[in-house]
A and B are shown apart, each in its own frame.
Chain A
Amino acid sequence: MNIQVKINGKNVKSEIDADLLLIDYLRDNGCLSVKRGCETSNCGLCTVLMNGKPVLSCSVLAARADGSEIYTLEGLQKEAEEFGTFVANQGAEQCGFCNPGFIMNVIAMLRENENPTDDEIKEYLAGNLCRCSGYEGQFRAIKNFLAQRGAK
């Protein structure tokens, strides 16, 4: 079947199999930041923005993205660098494999809620697993980022 998707601001027309998953479609189209961690929508690594909302691309058919606008970290490099620097300053990126999905969801969270409370942060990001960091360093990064942004 044929679909048309706007990936990171560019219109892409493709012929795809009906059972192709969005994650594989995006990786085939060069969005290699999108990672697969579990296949059962438990880990959050494959998070992308679909029409502005975070979705788990391992659990969405590419066909369903027809006509929609998708953003991956490749299309949000400025935001990734801005917030990512705070993660890196904690050493909390560690192996890095969960970082793109985590940072996508942080971007989504901050678009919905500019000043989340500690509990709101933990709840919004509860589906983004990280096996390396114990989450504290990621939390410090978010808090420092919010504090710096607030000071501006």
Chain B
Amino acid sequence: MDTKFVNKPIMKKDAMALVMGKPVYLDDVAPKDCLIVKVLRSPHANAIVEEVKKDVALKVPNIECIYTWEDVPQNRFTMAGQTYPEPSPYDRLILDKHVRYVGDPVAIVAGSDEKSVDKALKMIKVKYKVLEPILDFRKSKDNDILVHPEESWKSLCPVGADNKRNLCASETCGNGDVEKVLSECDIVLERTYHTKANQQAMMETFRTYCYIDTYGRLNVLSSTQIVFHARRILSTALGIPKSKIRVTKPRIGGGFGAKQTLVAEIFPAFVTWKTGKPSKMIFTREESQIASTPRHEMEVTVRVGATKEGIIKAVDLYTLSNTGAYGEHGPTTVGLSGHKSIPLYGKVEAFKFAYDVVYSNVMSAGAYRGYGATQGIFALESAVNELSAKLGIDPVKIREMNMVREGDTMPAYYNETTNSCALDRCLEKAKNMINWNEKYPYKDMGNGKVRSVGVAMAMQGSGISNVDVGSATIKVDDDGLYTLLIGSADMGTGCDTILAQIAAESLECDIDNITVLAADTDSSPYDSGSYASSTTYVTGKAVCNACEKLIDIMKEEGAKALGLSVDEVDFDGKRVFGKDKEISTAELAVKSQCGTKTALEVTVSHSSPISPPPFMVGMVEIELDKETGHIDIIDYVAVVDCGTPINTNLARVQVEGGLGQGIGMALFEDVQYSEKGRMYNNSFMQYKLPARNDVGTLRVEFENSYEQTGPYGAKSIGEIVINTPSPALAHAVYNATGVYIHELPITPEKIVMGMIKNEN
């Protein structure tokens, strides 16, 4: 592609500020003298708050206020950042008399210094009526114990939710007669896989600062991916008009979906609105671990039917998803477990996909990179690998025979057609990079160690079709420079830069001529927010379209100034010209500031009727110690089709980062509860994140397709990259040991216990 800024390794606009440690994050910019907000959290997994004695605590010097459930509005809402009407049920209050997990807030305390607030928290006396909790999500549906018995619970969308059955969502869909096709198959394999509630664990915890501005409006500065949704949710929760609220963000220390849900915002917003005083809330790491919104724990049962030659003809997939105490993203994540796994197989004649999403008395789940696809792909890709072993066919060959290809229709993916798909090229390249044919399935090293390989494919979407909206305002400033206003949130991913690259390419100017101003509900054009792999594909296209329109306006104004008609002039990035006459963009800018009625400015919104999937293949080589079950990753190869990578550096780092997180999910990261529902993994000491000596060598390549509907052929990259490590590593472990691990994480204990069981 002949481009100047697109498909290039451009440095992020904020990069030098970040590497030099400039004070650009929330707690760096919040003033020192604002109120410190903290919450008292429930020690019980299921209880009714009968009495809160706060009189002694209120006497602690420097305490401003203490609020309990009696002080907050009684409108239920969801904290999920989704387009209205949200599929997630309205099941929250700011503080509720009924606490539903260990960590659920009971009281809000604000004071002028942290020590006083900590002291007051200890002095609040709460009388609980302790109830029996539901901690096993398999027992939740139709249990006598109800997580949300309240009459005020409501579901805005037809997602099959029923609080009287502990159901957050439930659905069955399909295509063709799956039972009939399965009965005609030579082999039907049924397996159940279990994934855990992984933490996004971005390095900056949840945090928000609030103040009342000159106009009496609530200003919320927050580390969030979703400024517009945050404004709407705060308005519903606080019961105040949206016009009274402004939400902006500073630089964000990582999100990965965690900040697509309101977590910290609601408490300081309430305190500032009530007291009129500035306040901030900074989550501790422990709070982020026990009271946020991690990945939905899922148990996925798959039936795969195939011919003895290895043609996969039917898939039946059932997902049981655990949304925990509240339903954030419950009804939507689960859909991806089937809709973004089954379509990987293009020869499937019939499929059925059913699910239940249940409440339980553990921390609520939410959005985490991959958003259900990760869990479904672990299950289906593992099942296909187990099927290959049963049939005695190379698992790469099975995929070559069955994978979806460009031009195929995907019944399980809302009947979309793959207009751009290089999955076949990804598989071919990955196979060559890792030298699959030589290394599959394993090699005994003769020292008690085995080297083996594993494979998995993956897909995701690019935005939510017909829902997500991305907008761009582009205007000509002094000297013919441009300001690009967008509503999406750069959380480190680099979208401010990526969108500026698209603008610079479209306007044929230098990228330094584009100033980006983003994510401010007062000044940005509307954007759903940075999630669902949407920003590059949806907002990026809005930027393209806005630039085209701006060029039209500049040509019209230029033609007028030159005394020509519009079809007699052209634009080359520096000037409007025609018939030996020209006017520079700088001169146009001067004209636009004197005696004119035309604004050199345009706003465009974009939404896509389709969500073109990116595709990828991951292959891993491990060395496994048969005595201890210890795994070393030797080599991880990933080949990705994200259409055109707009920024080749940032796309590569997205892949490497996603693989790192995926490896953590596969091998280390676990969320475990005591029998009373208290989480054990409440710090980075007990919740092990991969360090740089845990991930081996990650090798990333791209096989570009060209997506006609995306900006310069781009699709998404942010989420798909977390999907292959779990199935590929489980597969490699099987090839080394004959043990198939069905429950993540794949620990040395599970491997060795499996080997002992196989021997007996």
Contacts and interface: CB of A to CB of B under 8 A. Distances in A.
Interface of A: 28, 32-33, 35, 37-40, 42-43, 45, 72-74, 77, 80-81, 83-85, 87-100, 103, 122-123, 125-139
B27 to A, nearest CB: 8
Interface majority SS (helix, strand, loop, mixed), chain A: loop
B254 A97 contact: yes
B203 A130 contact: yes
Contacts of B491: 95
Name, among B19, B24, B25, the residue most crowded by chain A CB atoms within 10 Å (CB to CB): B19
Contacts of A37: 203-205, 285, 684
Contact of B683 (A38, A83, A97, A131): A38
Interface centre among B15, B252, B658, B695 (most CB of A within 10 A): B15
Contact of B9 (A83, A91, A125, A136): A91
A91 B253 contact: no
Given A91-B647, A97-B492, A134-B659, 7 more contacts: A35-B25, A40-B685, A91-B15, A93-B18, A100-B21, A132-B653, A134-B656
B20 A134 contact: no
B21 A38 contact: no
B268 interface: no
Contacts of B683: 38-40, 42
B20 A80 contact: yes
Given A81-B16, A131-B256, A136-B656, A33 B22 contact: yes
14 contacts: A80-B20, A83-B19, A87-B15, A88-B11, A91-B650, A92-B653, A93-B19, A93-B492, A95-B492, A96-B24, A100-B21, A129-B684, A132-B203, A136-B698
A121 to B, nearest CB: 8
Contacts of B284: 39
Given A40-B684, A94-B492, A134-B658, A84 B653 contact: no
B254 A95 contact: yes
Interface string B273-308: 000000000001110000000000000000000000
Q: Which of A87, A90, A125 is most buried by chain B, counting CB atoms within 10 A of its CB? A: A90
Contacts of A33: 20-23
Given A37-B285, A132-B254, A80 B21 contact: yes
B25 to A, nearest CB: 7
Interface stretch (B602-610, B686-694, B736-744): B686-694
Contacts of B691: 126-127, 129, 135
B254 A131 contact: yes
Given A42-B683, A132-B254, A135-B695, A99 B656 contact: no
Contacts of A133: 653, 656-657, 660
A95 B21 contact: no
B16 A129 contact: no
Contacts of A139: 692
A130 B685 CA distance: 15
A87 B756 CA distance: 46
A36 B536 CA distance: 31
Nearest to A91: B649
Interface in B169-213: 200-205
Interface centre among A95, A126, A127, A135 (most CB of B within 10 A): A95
B201 to A, nearest CB: 6
B248 interface: no
B13 to A, nearest CB: 10
B653 A94 contact: yes
B12 interface: yes
Contacts of A40: 285, 683-685
Contacts of A93: 12, 15, 18-19, 492
Contact of A129 (B253, B657, B689): B689
Contacts of B12: 88, 91, 93
Given A95-B492, A131-B201, A132-B492, A89 B658 contact: no
B489 to A, nearest CB: 12
Contact of B692 (A43, A45, A126): A126
B14 interface: yes
Given A96-B14, A134-B653, A88 B695 contact: no
A130 B693 CA distance: 12
B661 interface: yes
Nearest to A97: B253
A137 B656 contact: yes
A88 B647 CA distance: 13
Contacts of B685: 40, 42
B164 interface: no
A129 B661 CA distance: 12
Contacts of B713: none
A131 B202 contact: yes
Nearest to A73: B21
Question: B interface, how many residues as a size bin?
Answer: 35 or more
Contact of B20 (A73, A123, A128, A137): A73
Nearest to A137: B653
3 tightest A-B CB contacts, nearest first? A95-B492, A33-B21, A84-B19
B286 A91 contact: no
A28 to B, nearest CB: 8
A91 B494 contact: yes
A103 B492 contact: no
Given A39-B284, A39-B286, A99 B256 contact: no
Interface in B658-705: 658-661, 683-685, 689, 691-693, 695, 697-698, 700
Contacts of B650: 91
Given A81-B16, A103-B19, A134 B660 contact: yes
Nearest to B697: A136
Contact of B19 (A88, A130, A131): A88
A67 B698 CA distance: 45
A72 B655 CA distance: 31
A96 B19 CA distance: 7
A80 B684 CA distance: 27
A35 B697 CA distance: 28
A78 B650 CA distance: 25
B251 interface: yes
B649 A85 contact: no
B28 interface: yes
B493 interface: yes
Most buried by B among A32, A92, A132: A132
A124 to B, nearest CB: 10
Nearest to A39: B285
B630 interface: no
Contacts of B697: 136
A96 B494 contact: no
B684 A42 contact: yes
B635 to A, nearest CB: 12
A59 B11 CA distance: 35
A85 B437 CA distance: 40
B19 A87 contact: yes
A128 B692 CA distance: 8
A87 B371 CA distance: 29
Contacts of A97: 25, 202-204, 253-254, 492
Contacts of B695: 134-136
A95 B698 contact: no
A110 to B, nearest CB: 16
Given A38-B683, A133-B653, A95 B253 contact: yes
A45 B203 contact: yes
A130 B690 CA distance: 9
Given A91-B650, A94-B492, A95-B492, A84 B253 contact: no
B256 to A, nearest CB: 7
Nearest to A45: B203
Contacts of B449: none
B649 to A, nearest CB: 4
Contacts of A73: 20-21
Contacts of B200: 131
